[in-house]
């Protein structure tokens, strides 16, 4: 079987990859990169192609599909976060003296 051949994947895995690929393309990733990332995600979730029989019965791990959309960091701007920290510090200092 040549590299990149998708014959060993189930229809469900192919649908998953297509859906994940569309999501990446909506976020501005190129077509080739989106396809590559989508299949990498499907492989991580399911353990690769399932039609051969090896690995059947193993549970799917959906965490790789979830973590792709997460963006780290605070939703506040740096200045508002700094202002909140100063306000909290002043409140704690005022309450400590009482």
Residue 74 has which token pair? 């605070």
Q: Where are the domains of the chain?
A: 8-51
- Check residues 75 and 68 and name the one with the higher pLDDT: 75
**Cα dihedral sign, 9-7-25-36:** positive
Residue 85 has pLDDT above 90, yes or no: yes
How much is the mean pLDDT over the chain? 83
What pLDDT, on a 0 to 100 scale, did the predictor assign at position 52?
61
Residue 56 has pLDDT above 90, yes or no: no
- Check residues 57 and 35 and name the one with the higher pLDDT: 35
Q: How many CA atoms lie within 13 A of 58 on its CB side?
A: 14
What pLDDT, on a 0 to 100 scale, did the predictor assign at position 77?
83
Which of 3-12, 34-43, 59-68 has the weakest average pLDDT? Answer: 59-68
């Amino acid at each position: 079987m040549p590299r990149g051949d998708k014959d060993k994947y189930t229809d469900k895995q192919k649908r998953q990859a297509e859906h994940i690929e569309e999501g990446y393309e909506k976020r501005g990733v190129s077509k080739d990169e989106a396809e590559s990332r989508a299949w990498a995600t499907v492989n991580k979730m399911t353990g690769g192609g399932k039609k051969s029989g090896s690995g059947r019965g193993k549970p799917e791990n959906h965490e790789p599909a979830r973590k792709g959309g997460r963006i780290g960091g605070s939703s506040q701007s740096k200045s508002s976060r700094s202002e909140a920290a100063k306000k909290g510090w002043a409140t704690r200092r005022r309450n400590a003296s009482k």
